[in-house]
Amino acid sequence: MSKGLFITFEGIDGCGKSTQLELLKEDFRKEGLDFIEVREPGGTAVGEKIRNILLDRQNDSMTRMAELLLFEAARAQITEEVIIPALMSGKHVICDRFYDSTSAYQGYANKMGRDLTDFLNVKATSGVSPDLTFLLDIDPKTACDRRTGRGGEEDRIELMGLSYQEKVREGYIELSREEDKRIRVIDATMTREKIYSEIRKQVWDLMS
C-alpha cells in the first residue's frame, strides 16, 4: 500500500484557507479518494483542550514560551495519534495549518527564533513533513476586513492586531523562499474559483 499524500493550508488569519479546504474536500469526495481532514491546533481530544487554552482571550498573561510549547504539544498529539496512522494506511491527510504556522507566528513574529521552532517542530512531528503546502497570501488589512465580515469574537491571537499579522506574513514569505518546492504561494485576493483551480491543478499534478 502506498503512503497517502499530506497536504497543508497556511496563511494569516482570514486568508480564506477554510473555503479552499472545503472545495478540495468536496473534490476528493467526488473522486472517491480516501482522506481525512484535521486542523491545528486541535483535532484530538487532548489537542482540542489545548486549543481552548491557546485561543482563550482571558489567557492574556500567557508567555511566549508557554504558547510555543502548547502549540507543539497539540501537534505532537495529533501527529502520533492521527496523522501518521492515516498516512501509513494509505489515506490522504488534508490539514488546516501545521508546523509552518509555528515557524511564522512563534518563530518569526513572536521572535522565538527559528532554531528553536525548527528543533521543536521536528521533535513534535517525528520529522513528518507535508508533501504540499498552500500558502494563501493576502495583506492583513483585507484579511481583517474579511474576518470582520464573518462576525464572531476575535480570539487571543487575532487580538494581537494588524502589525502582528504583517510580521506573520513576512515570516511565511521567508519560509516559502526557503522551501519553494513544497510551499506554493497563492494570491489569496483572487476569486475563490481562480484560487481553487490553481490548488486543484497542483494537487492533481502531484497525484499523477
Residues that bind ligand TYD in the complex, under the rule CB under 6 A: 13, 40-41, 55, 71, 96-97, 101-102, 105-106, 155, 157-158
Closest approach of ligand TYD to the CB of residue 73, in Å: 11
Q: How far is CA 101 from the centre of its chain?
A: 6
Contacts from 186-190 at CB under 8 Å and sequence distance 24+?
A: 186/134, 186/135, 186/136, 186/137, 187/137, 187/138, 188/11, 188/15, 188/16, 188/136, 188/137, 188/138, 188/143, 189/138, 189/139, 189/142
| Helix 114-125 / helix 64-78 crossing angle, nearest 10 deg | 30
Closest approach of ligand TYD to the CB of residue 87, in Å: 19
Instruction: For ligand TYD, give the closer residue by CB, 4 or 171.
Output: 171
Closest approach of ligand TYD to the CB of residue 105, in Å: 3
Burial (0-12, 13-18, 19+ Cβ within 10 Å), 38: buried
Instruction: For ligand TYD, give the closer residue by CB, 170 or 207.
Output: 170
Closest approach of ligand TYD to the CB of residue 180, in Å: 21
Instruction: For ligand TYD, give the closer residue by CB, 65 or 207.
Output: 65
Nearest residue relative to ligand TYD (C-beta): 105
Cα dihedral 189, 186, 5, 197, rounded to 10, equals 60
Instruction: For ligand TYD, give the closer residue by CB, 40 or 137.
Output: 40
Closest approach of ligand TYD to the CB of residue 90, in Å: 25
Instruction: For ligand TYD, give the closer residue by CB, 33 or 76.
Output: 76
